[in-house]
Structure 1
Amino acid sequence: MTLKGTGQLLFCIVLLFIARGTIAQPIYAGRYTTIFTAPPANVPTPKTPDAPLTGNGDIGLTFGGEPGELQYYFGKNDFWRAYPVYPGGGIALPGGLRLTIPALKGADYYAEQLPGKGVIHASFKKEAQQVTIDSWVAATHNTVVIEITANKTCTLQPVLWAAKGNTAINTAGTTEKVTWVTRSFENTPLLEWPCHVALAMRVLGNNGSTNKTITLAPGKKTIIAVTIYTSNDRTNWKEAAITEAKALTPAVIEKMYAAHQQWWRNFWDRSSVQVNDSVIEKYYYTSQYLFACASRGNKLAPGIWGPFITKDSTAWGGDYHLNYNYQAPYWAAYSSNHLDLTDNYDQPLLDYMEKGKVHAMELLQVKGIYYPVGIGPKGLCTTRWPLTPEEMLQRYGTRDNTIDSGYKFLGQKINAVFGAGNMLMRFYSTYDAVYAWRIYPYLVACADFWEDYLKLENGRYVIYMDHYGEVMPNLRNNGQWRQLLGDFNSTLSLGLVKMLFKGIIEVSTFLKQDISRQEKWQDIVTRLSPFPVGETGGRQSLRPVERSPAEWLNKPMGLARVSIHGLLLPGGVCGPITDSAFNNILLSDVAHWKDKMQHIGEWGNTLNNGIETCFPGAVRVGYDADEILQQLKDRIAVQSFPNGWITQGGGGIETLSAVPMTINEMLLQSYEGVVRIFPNWNHSKNASFSKLRAYGAFLISSRLQNKRIEFVTILSEKGRACVMENPWPGKAVQLIRNGKKSGQLSGIRFSFPTKENELIVLKGI
């Protein structure tokens, strides 16, 4: 073998190791520390906190307060007041820990949020006094650890507390060296299930000080650990918290921290991107960090605000809002290869199926499932109208609280199918048979509903009375809202219904189930009404609906957030490959978003809602990459918090998918059945990605350097055929399987078979 040939072989071997993940990749997240030089101003809050944050996907830690009196808020995804109306119902605050350090009153504030380590590091100085505090939520345990070191002797008073009120029952006590508090919801009318939480505190290394007053000795570390369990974790929730806290020692904490660090190393090794833009990369990795803090597959799913709860009665009850808020936070996790964060997604939707069937039959006289706009865990409905006519009048301008038998559907039939979008994204990303069997009954129930609900008129399937937006009584319309009902063929509905039937055909074929039903399902896909368009300003533009009683909907409005949900994300039924002519209409609509801007940062009208939808939607239709990135940076600058959380007027954690999903889609696309490498990226700008996940169960890495794609590596998990747009247009492509040349590929688009766990390298010739 020639020296040149030897070098090429070694290069391919390196690429194969990278594809497998056996060569460690740089943890780019560690570069993007977030620094705070002032105490948070937005804590406590019913929405997004602006404080340093960390968590383990179940327990969330919000670091509030001032140096002399720090305030830790402990949220937990599974601590709910299971009451069907908010305010009052929804996710609740377990409690927190107050640290009073008199010597630090008025001290300089400095804190760092460290995404590479899952730690909040703080340092407070006042004259010669300095105290450093490292806080972390153990990634593999139900324990919060706070490590405190002072350079001079001072005192600290820790006060563990449980939130009170809202019908809660509280207890407190001390067991040996453990201080504990509890909060419980039980035995109140309409409560669907009881829920309890215990917080147990142990102080270590404090030279015999009591838990009430701690003396911080110079250079000696004091550890305060709080173990938190709910009745959803353990039946013996209180005893478990106390027992585990009592067993803590410095050596146990050290082992816990080692496991914590290993978890975060493994997390960041799942995938990486480099785009040579420090602002975009910072928000890319910080967003993924915050979502990893908010969601863990073996725990209950996060609500709108994740576990970063700082008070009861958060906005919308912090529930699972099904007309996008619940689904959106997960969107980037599939392509970023963080599937473990998504394991909790399906359970609330599956748990509500029996109620959904009752709603469908009793309210609409159809089969299948029909979901209200908001649910919670364990079959909980969170969105009932106020229980008395008087409260209904005060809040909504009408005394009629019996609308839809007292449930908030808000004129929308599509919520259950909206929930199916994420299921299909994960299925296409994994082709996992166990997962397919898990979700298949839900998909069938959705199909049952729409087979019954759709009407076949004049050779096409049409959708009546499923509304583009929420339609409901409110104080602005004085409760007069029924005249707004009557949307016909909403783009949201048409897109998501097409997504459903295309998806269930794929899943049923994969599982070899209900093959006899596929003819009907395919007929719906084929004959579903076309997406409505009209003319505006001499060009074709998307209409939100075919017709509506609401005058503002009866004209072309262009592609917008709600339509994107049906057509592009999660719908995935449109794009440049699927229908290039229709895609050009959508592309033209995106190009006119700037016409509607009055201020920098308003592109796509995303200040209230939609940053997680509009930016990746613009990528999918092929809008200019440089313009998207600039608009994204402008949007971030206008409305985001110091902790890296991009905020908006509506929901919360859904914005955490905005930057990762936008970048992932720029570097790799596969949602139209064709893998595309750097499909919407300026090729004069260097970029690379490692182990992003594509539909077909492929893990893909590539690098663009000096205007040329250097290589593509593919790990095929399930041995499916790979259809790819040629990364080197006009050139032949060398196919290398497990380090050996295996023929050449050519053409604008090509397909090649793969084997399970096969490693493939593609290089332009």
Structure 2
Amino acid sequence: MRSLWAMFLILFCFAQKSKAQEIYSGRYKAVFATAPKKVPTSKTPDGPLAGNGDIGLTLGGSPDKLLFYLGKNDFWRAYPVYPGGGIALPGWLEVHISALKGANYYAEQIQDRALIAGKFTKDDLTVILNSWVSATTNTVIAEFTANKAFTMNLALNATEGNTSVNTKGINGDVIWVTRSFENTPLLEWPSHVAIALKVLGGKVEKDGTLNMKANQKLTLSVTMYTNCDKNDWKEKTIQEAQSTTQNSIAAIKKEHEGWWKDFWSRSNVQIGDSLIEKYYYASQYLFGSTSRGNKFAPGIWGPFITRDSSSWGGDYHLNYNYQAPYWAAYSSNYIDQTANFDQPLLDYMEKGKQHAQELLHIKGIYYPVGIGPKGLVTTRWPLTPDEMEKRYATKENTIDGGYKFLGQKINAVFSVGNMLMRFYSTYDTAYAQKVYPYMLECADFWEDYLKFENGRYVIYMDHYGEVMPNLKNKGKWRDQLGDFNSTLSVGLVKMLFKGIIDVSSFLKVDPERVDKWQHIVKHISDFTVGEVDGKLSLKEVEKSPSVRHSRISGLARVSIHGLILPGGVCGPKTDSAFNQILLSDVSRWKERMNAPGEWANTLGNGIETCFPAAVRVGYDSDEIIKQLKDRIALQSLPNLWITADGGGTETLAAVPLTINEMMMQSYEQVIRIFPNWNKAKDASFEQLRAYGAFLVSSRLKNGKIEYVKLVSEAGRPCSIDNPWLGKKVQLIRNGQKVEVLAGKTFTFDTKRGEQLELTII
């Protein structure tokens, strides 16, 4: 019987995956009618993109000079100051085709197959390009064919400068280059990368020239390894390139297509809106291209680096930029893509303890605003007083021990939000054990830092916004220090202690500390509200010397971080009265607009925060989607990357998380089906991941929810709001009707691997 049920589950999952793939079916792709204009760039490039979560390929240039920029998430100049430090560009491949000068440019970013396809035409010559980054190996492929003979010239380049050491050579039929950072002052660890090119289907002359025949297929295979991949990084790169054949390429292409087919089968949504679905799936593709769980975590620009010294060093910015790209991955069932998130935070713990002890004289961990991998700090102040004065209008380069904390104590605890999202989504014991020490250090810090006054815990000197010297304030920045009970701080600290109670209980550790943590949760300060035009509204900070943060300005991006994302301590289920205040604040966002696309003030930052938060508090879903479309139209790129002035990869969560929250919510362990969706509009979703480790599917058609299906991964109790309020519901376990449920919310036990279904009676 067990074997039959196991077979049923396999067939069920296969059917679900096949259906999801069929639904996606490659409808949505990015189309480029002109050559990229923002390649190279210090921010997000606008060219066609492909990646495997480690290597990123950005196509730049024009038809007569195609430029294949090769980024890698683990290639950093491990220097503590930017510009200069941060993620670095390994190099690029140039393909010169002089006969295509002035040619028509056409390219597609085909996302279901993770393929860049190009077609370049000049008079009677047409050159076809198919390029992809292997999902499973360190290989980039570019295939060329043409309808008539032409000449191509190749050049493989390693980026030079910024203290790097470069070498190049030819081993047989393999051309290779290397780039290294080593043996320079303040460099925390050496970085090396090798890039090797092998040409299949044609002979390269010594000057890089290739003579192509009509209808001949030419394959350029590029192999890349760093010293983070392999100790013998250079030898491995060259050897693997030498062993490349058309058969081996065919094999890795099959693996590549299988990987992406599985990726698209993890979950899907249908909402009957082609524009939003297009950006939903594009954002998932770009995140899948950017992050792999077993590789280095992506920074602000992911692996799509097209020059050295990218903005903010392309680092891990800890006051939201680093965390936000992952927020949609949990509910989208891309858990394995998030496994790289924690390692940089764990690697910095010893330094974080030193900062807390030396700078604040307390326990726990205290993190600056920006770090990198392997314990790297990226955000030291400029090392010389003169450079400090040039950039920040003060010679004082020893602020906070020379590190940029920018008046904020929340940089370490901010990341606990992601840890809790993954924990609640999986109830994975090994994962909980991995991150619990980090959470415990955060708890140690805040137990020490909080003050208990007049029956409540209060927070001094943790600032709502970044406070720092700059050219505008002429060094008078200290006048802005003094925030008391920032909504950001209060929310994230409450999140921490609620969460660590759950994790410690799950792991059955530190029971003697739970009373203290519960006391903090119960007695931490309330969020501050005031009155505007006769209506209650959120105040950013209870007290602040900053005029900007002293006024009552309502719910905004930074407050949302503490309250809703990643805080998760507010919402209709948590406190309906307070939620009405937040909902009222969201309703006033329209009043502050000067033009379409400016809703929620997200052009600088916050599209991934404000839109899903508006869903969570219950703002009208049709209006949210309208405003989201306007925002996309105002600021997005041809490769379907929605951009923000203040960052890059974090925007990839915006559309998926907004739609996922409309389809299903599960904060505070209660599943809600279509909680904020116009029931007159047909919609469906499959295998969205809910807290409690449930995979949930449902369909809304003709105004009625047809079913709710769940798979229980961890065998935990399931609480779910009645999707058919006021009606009795049939619970089906593994295909068998077992009990009738009634009421506003149901709670029932489940078993690991159990398939459940709810239908209206």
Moved over 2 A (4+): 12-25, 207-211
CA distance, structure 1, for counterparts of residue 21 and residue 139 of structure 2: 29
One of 173, 180, 203 as aligned partner of 2:176: 180
CA distance, structure 2, for counterparts of residue 521 and residue 264 of structure 1: 43
| 3-state SS, counterpart of residue 466 of structure 1 | coil
Counterparts of residues 64-79 of structure 1 (less than 5 Å): 64-79=60-75
Once superposed, what is the RMSD of the aligned Cα atoms? Answer: 1.3
Whether the 8 Å CA contact 2:530–2:552 is kept in 1: the answer is: yes
Letter in 1 for 2:144: I
CA distance, structure 2, for counterparts of residue 392 and residue 721 of structure 1: 56
In structure 2, the residue matched to 1:424 is 420
CA distance, structure 2, for counterparts of residue 208 and residue 97 of structure 1: 14
1:617 equivalenced with 2:610 (yes/no): no
Counterparts of residues 629-708 of structure 1 (less than 5 Å): 629-708=625-704
Closer/same/farther in 2, CA of residues 15 and 255 from structure 1, 3 Å limit:
closer
CA distance, structure 1, for counterparts of residue 371 and residue 624 of structure 2: 34
Question: Residue 21 of structure 1: CA displacement?
Answer: 4.5
1:57 equivalenced with 2:35 (yes/no): no
Whether the 8 Å CA contact 2:20–2:268 is kept in 1: the answer is: no
| 3-state SS, counterpart of residue 522 of structure 1 | helix
Question: Residue 672 of structure 1: CA displacement?
Answer: 2.4
1:333 equivalenced with 2:346 (yes/no): no
| 3-state SS, counterpart of residue 156 of structure 1 | strand
One of 343, 356, 359 as aligned partner of 1:360: 356
Deviations, residues 679-713 of structure 1 (Å, cap 9, x unaligned)? 00000000000000000000000000000000010
One of 358, 369, 372 as aligned partner of 1:373: 369
In structure 2, the residue matched to 1:480 is 476
CA distance, structure 2, for counterparts of residue 714 and residue 27 of structure 1: 20
Deviations, residues 279-334 of structure 1 (Å, cap 9, x unaligned)? 10000000010011111111100000000000000000000000000000000000
Whether the 8 Å CA contact 1:16–1:738 is kept in 2: the answer is: no
Whether the 8 Å CA contact 1:16–1:761 is kept in 2: the answer is: no
1:760 equivalenced with 2:756 (yes/no): yes
Question: Residue 127 of structure 1: CA displacement?
Answer: 1.0
In structure 1, the residue matched to 2:394 is 398
In structure 2, the residue matched to 1:95 is 91
Question: Residue 20 of structure 1: CA displacement?
Answer: 6.4
CA distance, structure 2, for counterparts of residue 410 and residue 116 of structure 1: 42
In structure 2, the residue matched to 1:607 is 603
In structure 2, the residue matched to 1:4 is none
Closer/same/farther in 2, CA of residues 351 and 365 from structure 1, 3 Å limit:
same
Counterparts of residues 402-413 of structure 1 (less than 5 Å): 402-413=398-409
CA distance, structure 2, for counterparts of residue 219 and residue 210 of structure 1: 24
| 3-state SS, counterpart of residue 701 of structure 1 | strand
1:192 equivalenced with 2:196 (yes/no): no
1:439 equivalenced with 2:435 (yes/no): yes
| 3-state SS, counterpart of residue 139 of structure 1 | coil
CA distance, structure 1, for counterparts of residue 99 and residue 125 of structure 2: 7
The unaligned stretches of length 5 or more in structure 1 are 1-11
In structure 1, the residue matched to 2:4 is none
In structure 2, the residue matched to 1:126 is 122
In structure 2, the residue matched to 1:450 is 446
Counterparts of residues 419-568 of structure 1 (less than 5 Å): 419-568=415-564
In structure 2, the residue matched to 1:292 is 288
Whether the 8 Å CA contact 2:721–2:746 is kept in 1: the answer is: yes
| 3-state SS, counterpart of residue 517 of structure 1 | helix
| 3-state SS, counterpart of residue 22 of structure 2 | coil
CA distance, structure 2, for counterparts of residue 366 and residue 356 of structure 1: 11
Closer/same/farther in 2, CA of residues 198 and 211 from structure 1, 3 Å limit:
farther
Whether the 8 Å CA contact 2:21–2:261 is kept in 1: the answer is: no
Whether the 8 Å CA contact 1:113–1:643 is kept in 2: the answer is: yes
Deviations, residues 68-110 of structure 1 (Å, cap 9, x unaligned)? 0111100000000000000000000000000000111111100
CA distance, structure 1, for counterparts of residue 174 and residue 15 of structure 2: 48
1:313 equivalenced with 2:309 (yes/no): yes
Whether the 8 Å CA contact 2:16–2:265 is kept in 1: the answer is: no
CA distance, structure 1, for counterparts of residue 17 and residue 719 of structure 2: 23
Letter in 2 for 1:398: T
Whether the 8 Å CA contact 1:698–1:716 is kept in 2: the answer is: yes
1:39 equivalenced with 2:35 (yes/no): yes
CA distance, structure 1, for counterparts of residue 681 and residue 601 of structure 2: 28
In structure 2, the residue matched to 1:248 is 244
In structure 1, the residue matched to 2:269 is 273
Whether the 8 Å CA contact 2:50–2:115 is kept in 1: the answer is: yes
Question: Residue 553 of structure 1: CA displacement?
Answer: 1.2
CA distance, structure 1, for counterparts of residue 551 and residue 184 of structure 2: 49
In structure 2, the residue matched to 1:345 is 341
| 3-state SS, counterpart of residue 198 of structure 1 | strand
Whether the 8 Å CA contact 1:20–1:715 is kept in 2: the answer is: no
In structure 2, the residue matched to 1:580 is 576
In structure 2, the residue matched to 1:109 is 105
Letter in 2 for 1:71: L
In structure 1, the residue matched to 2:3 is none
Question: Residue 215 of structure 1: CA displacement?
Answer: 1.6
| 3-state SS, counterpart of residue 393 of structure 1 | helix
Closer/same/farther in 2, CA of residues 266 and 47 from structure 1, 3 Å limit:
same
Whether the 8 Å CA contact 1:29–1:115 is kept in 2: the answer is: no
CA distance, structure 2, for counterparts of residue 458 and residue 265 of structure 1: 58
Whether the 8 Å CA contact 2:196–2:238 is kept in 1: the answer is: yes
1:155 equivalenced with 2:138 (yes/no): no
One of 146, 164, 167 as aligned partner of 1:168: 164
Deviations, residues 560-593 of structure 1 (Å, cap 9, x unaligned)? 0000000000000000000000000000000000
Letter in 2 for 1:424: L
Deviations, residues 582-626 of structure 1 (Å, cap 9, x unaligned)? 000000000000011011100000011000000000000010000
In structure 2, the residue matched to 1:202 is 198
| 3-state SS, counterpart of residue 332 of structure 1 | helix
CA distance, structure 2, for counterparts of residue 255 and residue 715 of structure 1: 34
Closer/same/farther in 2, CA of residues 112 and 524 from structure 1, 3 Å limit:
same
Whether the 8 Å CA contact 2:144–2:217 is kept in 1: the answer is: yes
CA distance, structure 1, for counterparts of residue 251 and residue 39 of structure 2: 32
CA distance, structure 1, for counterparts of residue 441 and residue 546 of structure 2: 31
| 3-state SS, counterpart of residue 676 of structure 2 | coil
Whether the 8 Å CA contact 1:716–1:757 is kept in 2: the answer is: yes
In structure 2, the residue matched to 1:8 is none
| 3-state SS, counterpart of residue 323 of structure 1 | coil
| 3-state SS, counterpart of residue 240 of structure 2 | helix
Whether the 8 Å CA contact 1:15–1:713 is kept in 2: the answer is: no
| 3-state SS, counterpart of residue 26 of structure 2 | helix
CA distance, structure 1, for counterparts of residue 695 and residue 478 of structure 2: 50
| 3-state SS, counterpart of residue 265 of structure 1 | helix
CA distance, structure 2, for counterparts of residue 65 and residue 21 of structure 1: 38
The normalised TM-score by structure 1 is: 0.97
Closer/same/farther in 2, CA of residues 48 and 13 from structure 1, 3 Å limit:
closer
Percentage identity across aligned positions? 65
In structure 1, the residue matched to 2:744 is 748
CA distance, structure 1, for counterparts of residue 64 and residue 147 of structure 2: 16
The unaligned stretches of length 5 or more in structure 2 are 1-7
